[in-house]
Amino acid sequence: MSEKKHRVSRRQFLTYTLTGVGGFMAAGMLSPMVRMALDPALEATGDSEFVAVGLGEDELTEEPQIVNFELEIEDAWYTSEQPRSAWIYKDGDEIIALSPICTHLGCTVNWDANEDYPEQFFCPCHFGRFERDGTNVAGTPPTRPLDVYDVEVRDGMIYLGQINQRS
């Protein structure tokens, strides 16, 4: 492109430079603010820690038992202990810890609680049912199995980690 074809008028030059400088100043002002607002979304979420639930490995049976424990939640400037529960049992050598939250609408399920459905997890809200291994019973409201905790055994004690969804 030759110089002649690309004449920039005085007005255009001023528009470009003023827009450029103005844009630069606005960006310098706004970018730290926007980055600050976006911080929670950009922050990497770490895997949660394993917490002791106060139950020994030798206390486990094939029968699911409820265990209640406290999880320390760090919420920015506010730290709190929140109650959690799990249904824990032994399946051969494997230790299974199921979340008691119904995968339908979040009510709490109970093991072997309904006379009509023995040996199943039963949700009183909409009669959702799950097998011993957490699989949802077809024909009841839940559409996926109960979530499972990561389980670790340290010195014979049970530690539970983060909750994982199964499809």
Partner 1 sequence: MLQKVYDWVDERLDITPLWRDIADHEVPEHVNPAHHFSAFVYCFGGLTFFVVVIQILSGMFLTMYYVPDIIHAYESVYYLQNEVTHGLIVRGMHHWGASLVIVMMFLHTLRVFFTGSYKKPRELNWVVGVLLFFVILGLGFTGYLLPWDMKAYFATVVGLEIAESAPVIGGFARTLLAGGEIIGAQTLARFFAIHVFFLPGALLGLLGAHFFMIRKQGISGPL
Please, is 108 exposed, middle or buried when counting C-beta atoms within 10 Å of its C-beta (0-12, 13-18, 19+)? middle
Of 103, 105, 48, nearest to 74 by C-alpha is 48
Per CB under 8 A, does 21 bind partner 1?
Answer: no
Q: CB 39 → partner 1: shortest distance, Å?
A: 5
Cα–Cα distance, 69 to 86 (Å, whole number): 9
Q: Spell out, one character per residue from 46 to 75, where the chain touches partner 1: x when CB under 8 A holds, - when not.
A: ------------------------------
22 to each of 14, 98, 111, 147, how far by Cα in Å?
12, 58, 66, 53
Residue 113, token pair as written in the block: 């609680």
Residue 44 binds partner 1, judged by CB under 8 A: no
Q: Does 33 bind partner 1 (CB under 8 A)?
A: yes
Please, which residue, 2 or 79, has the CB nearer to partner 1? Answer: 79
18 interacts with partner 1 by CB under 8 A: no
Q: Give the nearer residue to partner 1 in terms of CB position, either 8 or 113.
A: 8
Nearest to 125 by CA among 147, 110, 113, 107: 107
- Can residue 30 be called a binding residue for partner 1 (CB under 8 A)? yes
Q: Which residues bind partner 1 (CB under 8 A)?
A: 29-30, 32-33, 35-37, 39, 42-43, 76-78
